[in-house]
Structure 1
Amino acid sequence: MKKNLGILILVILAFTAYVNNTNLQKQNKQITKKEKVVELLNSIETGDTKPVEYINQNKYIQHNLAVKDGLSGLGEVLSKLPKGSAKVEVLRTFEDGNYVFTHTKYNFFGPKVGFDIFRFENGKIVEHWDNLEEISETTASGRTQFDGDVQIIDKELTDSNKQLVSNFINDVLFGKNPSKITEYISTEKYLQHNPNVKDGLNGLSEALKSLAKAGMPIKYEKTYMILGEGNFVLTVSKGIFMNKASSFYDLFRIEDGKIVEHWDTIEEIPEKSTWQNNNGKF
């Protein structure tokens, strides 16, 4: 009996030690930058205040021109949301050095698709950019602004894929050598998520010609950021769309050295007199 009791005590002590060690490992596990960003974005819907800890309270630079600088500016705009209206579904999350960028489906003062970029310093968020566009119920390609591939692969090709997209922007979007487009975009598969553009190179050409014919050609003027992880690359650019100054966020998926899928948002840049901060869109 005493022997069995001794064994039982040893089992209990071993189990207790295991549980304590597991809890300690959980406490010591460092939350990743991606996890911090996803928690922060989800808190817009849930109201959870804990993710605010991931923001540097002494330095939070805001580039959404409708939001004032700092945590107080973020809190102010969130307080204006109708109660229970906010919805957040983070679809894709990527990391590039000190930057995390996401592709998200929102209900944020109305249904929107958005890209968000967060910059980290010493584990804290210190800067934020975004680009939002209203969700379209119908699209030229039959695809939504959200669906498509989500798997991140080929991480070792991140730099070469970023260079591919950079060359594509310079040659094609900036118009330096547009005839080279087939060197960058696959002629066999080009899946389009812009609501106004059909699939394939023919769909892209048709949309661009239609805008030009209407006297409203799309024009890229400057690219400010090229971020990537593996087979996904995001670019942040300024230009003209519908004869208005606009910001272009383009997400490209690369496969076998060619662009095969594209998502984007286009947002008009408001007049400076209406800006709620002085940091600029870019």
Structure 2
Amino acid sequence: MTALAGCSTSSNNADNTASSTSATTQETESTKTEQTQTEKALALIDTFATGDTDIAKELLAEDYIQHNLAYGTGRDAFIGSVEYLASADEKTTVENIRAFEDGDKVLLQTVYNFAGAGEQVAFDIFRFDNEGKIAEHWDNLAAKAEPNPSGHTQIDGTMEVTDLDKTEENRKLVEDFLYDVMQGNNLDKTPDYFDGDTYIQHNTGIADGVSGLNEALAALAEQNIQMIYTTTHQVLAQGNFVLAVSEGTFGDKPTAYYDLWRVENGKIAEHWDVMETIADKSTWQNQNGKF
């Protein structure tokens, strides 16, 4: 009996160990696959630096929709870009600065240097489908510049996401600001959106303060250059950060505006942006449109 009991105990221990090992393995595998949307988006852009096409293939939906007009649409086209960068003489670098999530979309602010072509500051938006695959992409890019008149760069400044309970309130504030001020429908309301002259500016050519913005717009007007916002296509928000994707013109050229605002105590407090001229349709590598 003792021997049998001993054998029985040993068998149970072995079974328990095997069961525990199996459960641990399953848990480890589950942990590996259960990435957040933000983690997936970051892993995807990192393939530009690593050249890992297997990761790109795993993350992307086959019918991936591309709105960067310089590239073809679809998963295979993206993988082709990764392969091209991997074959380049100079390595591509990817430095993510900020990352936010809003529903099925992830927003990334990143500094890229594609195969040594020079540093670019970018906003990327990735949409996820119901299966957790990256299904669509929009972006705006601009060359990295020297600090602006107030000494700020395109990427420094506040990093922390706060006020998650105010996400929708802050989204509405920016939507109203776009309509009233940026689209010029109620310019007399401009002071309502700011705490006096307090406004930290990261635009490469504009100084801090509402006064700095007004001075820059006046200088453009003297050169007969207008910055016009006509349509807002997306407004993404997480806590105190709100990104707006708008369409308009700058100096009569069709322009995509990506504006990231930080809201503090119900007022617009800080601003980052990337403006990009929309390429002529004859040069488009896909027909999905910029927006």
Q: Same fold (TM over 0.5)?
A: yes
* Amino acid in structure 1 at the alignment position of 2:129: E
State the 1:15 CA deviation: 8.8
Q: What is residue 33 of structure 1 aligned with on the other side?
A: 37
Distance 2:164 2:21 in 1: 36
Distance 2:89 2:194 in 1: 44
Distance 2:18 2:265 in 1: 52
Q: What is residue 94 of structure 1 aligned with on the other side?
A: 100
Superposed, which structure 2 residues align to 1:110-259 within 5 Å?
110-122=118-130, 123-187=132-196, 189-259=198-268
Distance 1:158 1:80 in 2: 40
* Amino acid in structure 2 at the alignment position of 1:27: E
State the 1:149 CA deviation: 1.1
Distance 2:199 2:211 in 1: 10
SS at match of 1:60: strand
Q: What is residue 24 of structure 1 aligned with on the other side?
A: 26
Q: What is residue 73 of structure 1 aligned with on the other side?
A: 77
Return 180-189 or 75-84, whichever deviates more.
75-84
Distance 2:105 2:65 in 1: 14
Q: What is residue 112 of structure 2 aligned with on the other side?
A: 106
TM-score in terms of structure 2 length: 0.88
Please give the per-residue CA displacement for 1:193-241, whole angstroms capped at 9, x wherever unaligned.
1110101111111111111111001111111000111111000001111
Return 270-279 or 138-147, whichever deviates more.
138-147
Distance 1:91 1:14 in 2: 46
State the 1:16 CA deviation: 8.5
Return 114-123 or 42-51, whichever deviates more.
42-51
TM-score in terms of structure 1 length: 0.90
CA contact (8 A) 1:63 1:129 kept: yes
- Pairs aligned (count): 276
State the 1:52 CA deviation: 2.8
Please give the per-residue CA displacement for 1:65-110, whole angstroms capped at 9, x wherever unaligned.
0001112222333444333331111111111111111111111232
Return 254-263 or 68-77, whichever deviates more.
68-77
Q: Please, what is the CA RMSD of the aligned residues?
A: 2.3
SS at match of 1:249: strand
Distance 1:245 1:142 in 2: 29
Please give the per-residue CA displacement for 1:164-200, whole angstroms capped at 9, x wherever unaligned.
0000000000111112112112325311111101011
Q: What is residue 85 of structure 1 aligned with on the other side?
A: 91
* Amino acid in structure 1 at the alignment position of 2:97: L
* Amino acid in structure 2 at the alignment position of 1:24: Q
* CA distance 1:84–1:52, change in 2 (3 Å): farther
Q: What is residue 60 of structure 1 aligned with on the other side?
A: 64
Distance 1:178 1:20 in 2: 65
State the 1:270 CA deviation: 0.8
SS at match of 2:29: helix
Superposed, which structure 2 residues align to 1:267-278 within 5 Å?
267-278=276-287
* Amino acid in structure 2 at the alignment position of 1:54: L
CA contact (8 A) 1:62 1:128 kept: yes
CA contact (8 A) 2:199 2:210 kept: yes
CA contact (8 A) 1:247 1:269 kept: yes
Return 108-117 or 177-186, whichever deviates more.
177-186
Please give the per-residue CA displacement for 1:105-148, whole angstroms capped at 9, x wherever unaligned.
11123210000001111211111000000110232221110111
* Amino acid in structure 1 at the alignment position of 2:257: F
* Amino acid in structure 2 at the alignment position of 1:26: T
SS at match of 1:138: coil
Residue in structure 1 matching 2:288, options 276, 279, 282: 279
CA contact (8 A) 2:47 2:82 kept: no
Distance 1:107 1:169 in 2: 31
* CA distance 1:213–1:73, change in 2 (3 Å): same
